[in-house]
Chain A
Amino acid sequence: MFNRRLGIIDLSKKKTFIKQTPDSLKKLFLGGRGLNSYYLYKMIKPGIDPLSPDNVLIFGTGFLTGTLVPNSSRFNVSAKSPETGILGDSNCGGYFAAELRYAGFDRLIILGKAKKPTYLYVTDGTIEIKDANDYWGMDTTEVQQTLRKDLGQVEAAVCGVAGENLVRFACVRTGVKNAAGRCGLGAVMGSKHLKAVVARGKQGIEITHPEMMLETVEQLKEYIMNSKVSSILGTVGTPFLYEVSNTLGAIRTKNSQLNAWSESLNADVVETFVDKMIGCSSCIIHCRHRNKLGGEGPEYTALGLLGANLGIEDTAHVIELNNMCNELGLDISSSGTILGWAFELYERGIIDKKITGEELHFGDFELVKRLLYKISRREDFGDILAESTRNVKRFGKASEDYLIAVKGLPQSDPHDVRYIKAFALGIATSSRGADHLRSRPTLEIFLRLPQEVRDRIYGKGVPGDPTSYKGKEKTVYFSDNIFAAIDSLGICKFICHGFNSPHFVDYTWMKKLIHCTSGWQFKEKDIQEIGKRVIDIERMFNNREGVSRKDDTLPKRYFDDPMPLKIAKGHHIDRKEFDSLLTRYYKLRGWDNDGQVKQERIKELEALT
C-alpha cells in the first residue's frame, strides 16, 4: 500500500525526481482530488497564465484505486484551468489509474514545458521522458493504439488534436471514451508539449488485512447489486436520466430557450445502439455502452448537450457527435454549451457572419460536425469558439446574458436548474464552475423519498419540495463534502451515498474500506473532515485567484426567464431567495459573508504537512 511513489517531472529541465508522499498528508487528504488540490495550492503561484510553463499539471490516483474495492478505478487530473482561470480539476475512470499504481506510482506532478513533443513512460518504479514526435497530430484512439503497438499492453492518458492546439476545453482521454473532460486540462497537456502519460506495471498493491477486504467487499457488493439503481445503470447507463429530466421539463434545450426535447433520445432508443455494456477497472456497475457506431457512449451529458441543446433529434447523429468529440479530445459539456450559445447569439443578431463566416442555426448536424472539427484545428470560426466563455469580450456584453456558464465554465449538467433549487446552489458554488459532479444532490429528484431518510442524510429541516429554498444549503453542503471524500478515495460516484441512491458507500463503509486496506483507524467524522478540508483548500485556491461572493452566481436566464414547458413551467430562481440561500451556505461552511475562507482556517490548512 505504502510503497507507491510520487513522481515529479520537470519537462523544461528534462529531469525526474522520485519522492514519497508523507503518510501524514495522506491521512489529511487521502489521495486523488484531495491531494491534487493540496499540491496545486502549494505549488501554483497566483495569477500565472494557465497555458504557460508555470502551470503545474497533476495526475493523482485515489487512496483505494486499483484495489478490489468496487469501482476503484479513478484518478484526478488537476491544474489551473485555461478555460476559467481558477481551479481546474477533473475526475476520470477507465484503466489508466490502476495501471499507474501497478507501475509503482500514486501521483505524477508535471512542471515546465518540453521543447518538443514528449510523452512520459512510467513502468515498474521508473519514469522516462520520451520523444512523441511521431504521435503528435494523432487522434485519441490512434495515439493509444500506436503506443500499444510500440510498447505492448500499456494504458495511456492522452490529449487529442484539440489539446495540442490549446483549445480551452480540450479534454484528457484514456481508452475509448473515459475523459478527464472538464476545465481544459488537455490544453494544459498541449501547452507543455505532453502528448501522453503511459503506464505499465506489475507491482501489486499490498493490503494490510486481505481477508477483511475480501469479506467487506463481498458484503458491499451484495448491498450495491441488490439496488434497483445499480441494475438500471448497468443495463442502460446514464441515458436513463434524460427521460427523468425531460419529463420534468428540465432538459436544457436550444441554449435554455426551451426546457424539453424529443423522446428520440430516451434510454430505450439509445439502447438499440448498444453492443455491450462494459466497465472500468474494478467496476461492478458497468455503465459504459459500447455503441454500434464505433465508439462508446453516449452519456446523459452528450444526449443533452450535443442533442437537445443543439436542437438535434436523431439518436444516431448525437452518438456520432459524441464519438467525434472523444476522438478530437474535446469536452462534450463545453462543446455543446458553447455551440448552443453561439447559435442563439447568431439568431438574435448579436454576432453575425463577419465573425462566424457562415450562417448558424440549431438542428444542423453537418454544421455541428464541421464546427467541432474546426474548433479542434482552430480554423476560421473554430479558432474563436476554441476560446470558450472568454468570447464574452469579443462578442460583447449583451452576449453574456445568454451564456450558460458559471465562473467561466460552461454548465455540464444537461439539467436546467431553475426548478430544483439545490441544483442551482450546487453549480453556483462548485469549486470548478458550473458543474454537477461536485455536489449534485440528485436525491432532490426523488420526490417520494421518506422524510426520515432525508433527515438522516442531510439533517433536519430540509423539506422534500425541490422548488423550496428552505434548508437546501444542507443538501449541497452534505453532497460537496462526501463527493470530495469519494473523489479522494478514487471510487466512482455511482456507488457514493447520496448521489444516485440514498444507500451505498457512506462514511461508515469508507471507514471500513480504509481500515482493511491500510490498517488506519478513522472515525466517520474524520472522513467528513477530509471532505471539508478539500473543499476549503479548493476555495482558498479560488479566493487567491479573485473568486468571491460575486462569482457564486448563475446564468442570467436562470434568474430572469421563467421555464416555458411542462411541470417546471413558470419556475425560475428568485434573486433574493438565492442570495439568502448563499448566505446560509457560507455560514454552514464557515466562510465569511463575501465567500472567503477565514484567516484562521487558512493558517490552519497552510500549516499542514
Chain B
Amino acid sequence: MKYLYVYPEKCTGCRECSIACSLTKFGECNPKKAAINIIRDEFNRYEFPIVCFQCEDPVCLKFCHQNAYKIEDGVVIRDEDKCIGCRLCAVICPYNAVTTIDDEIIKCDLCGGDPMCVKYCSTDAILYLDETEELEKRRKEMAERFLEINKK
C-alpha cells in the first residue's frame, strides 16, 4: 500500500502542492481550497505540509453519524452522497487534515493513486511511497511534530 510521506525539512512553503490540488479538484488556483495545506510562518521559521495520514483507526470515520466515511484499500474515503456537510470530521481531526471552506469539505483521496501534490512539489518534500516499517515510524513522528506545532 502506498501513502503520502511528508518531509518538512525540505518544504519551502511555496504551496504548489495545494494549488495543484485545488486546480485538479475545483478548476481554480486556491491554496486554501485543497486537501493538502502548508502551515507556514516565516517569522517563527517553519513550513509544514498537512495532509491526511489515512489513519488506521480514523476519528472522522468513527464519529461520522451519517457513516459517510469508509476505508477502501487502506484509503479513508468520504462518500459525498451520504455526507450532510456537518463538518464534524473537520472539527475533530487532530491533524487538521480535513479542509472546510465555504460549502466544501475536502479530504485527501490520494487522487486515485496519482497524487497531484507530489507531482508539483519541486523539492520532494512530499512523496508517495510503499509503506515500510521505517516510513510508518516517520509518519507517526510527523503526526506528533504537527501536534506540537499546532499547540504554538
Q: Give the interface of A toward B (CB within 8 A).
A: 66-68, 70, 98, 102, 141, 144-145, 175-176, 202-207, 210, 213-214, 217-218, 221, 225, 234, 275-284, 286, 290, 296
Q: A68: which of B16, B26, B43, B102 is its contact (CB, 8 Å)?
A: B16
Q: How far is the CB of B43 from chain A (nearest CB, A)?
A: 5
B112 close to chain A: CB less than 8 A? no
CA distance A141 to B15 in the complex (A): 22
A279→B45 contact, CB < 8 A: no
Provide the main secondary structure of the chain A interface: mixed
**Additional pairs, 20, CB under 8 Å, beyond known A205-B29, A210-B28, A278-B42:** A68-B19, A68-B29, A102-B30, A144-B43, A202-B101, A204-B26, A204-B33, A205-B30, A218-B119, A221-B122, A275-B45, A276-B9, A277-B12, A278-B12, A279-B13, A279-B14, A282-B15, A282-B16, A283-B12, A286-B12
Q: Is B106 an interface residue (CB 8 A)?
A: no
In-complex Cβ contact of A202 among B12, B33, B47 (8 A)? B33
Q: Are A176 and B29 closer than 8 Å at their CB atoms?
A: no
- Contact A225 B119, beta carbon cutoff 8 Å: no
B116 neighbours in A (Cβ, 8 Å) = 214
Q: Kindly supply a per-residue 1/0 record for chain B positions 1-33, scoring 1 wherever the CB is within 8 Å of any chain A CB and 0 otherwise.
A: 000000001001111100110111011111111
A-contact bits for B43-57, CB 8 A (1 contact / 0 none): 101010000000000
In the assembled complex, the Cα of A290 lies from the Cα of B19 at a distance in Å of 24
Q: Most chain-A Cβ atoms within 10 A of its Cβ — which of B14, B27, B47?
A: B14
Q: List 7 A-B contacts (CB under 8 A).
A: A176-B42, A205-B28, A206-B27, A210-B24, A281-B14, A282-B19, A284-B14
Known: A278-B42, A278-B47, A286-B122. A210 touches B23 (CB 8 A): yes
Question: Counting CB contacts under 8 A, is B66 at the interface?
Answer: no
Considering the chains assembled together, what is the distance between the CA atoms of A290 and B41 in angstroms?
Answer: 12
Top 5 nearest A-B pairs by Cβ distance? A204-B30, A204-B28, A279-B12, A284-B122, A286-B12
CB distance from A210 to the nearest CB of B (A): 4
Across the interface, B120 reaches (CB within 8 A) one of A144, A203, A218, A276, namely A218
| A234 CA / B12 CA spacing, docked (Å) | 10
For residue B123, CB closer than 8 A to chain A, the reply is yes
| Interchain CB contact under 8 A, A204 and B12 | no
Q: Tell me which of B16, B28, B116 has the highest count of chain A C-beta atoms within 10 A of its own C-beta.
A: B16
B11: nearest chain-A partner, CB-CB: A278
Collect the chain A residues with CB atoms within 8 Å of residue B119's CB. Answer: 218
Contact A280:B29 (CB < 8 A) given known A67-B19, A217-B120, A221-B120: no
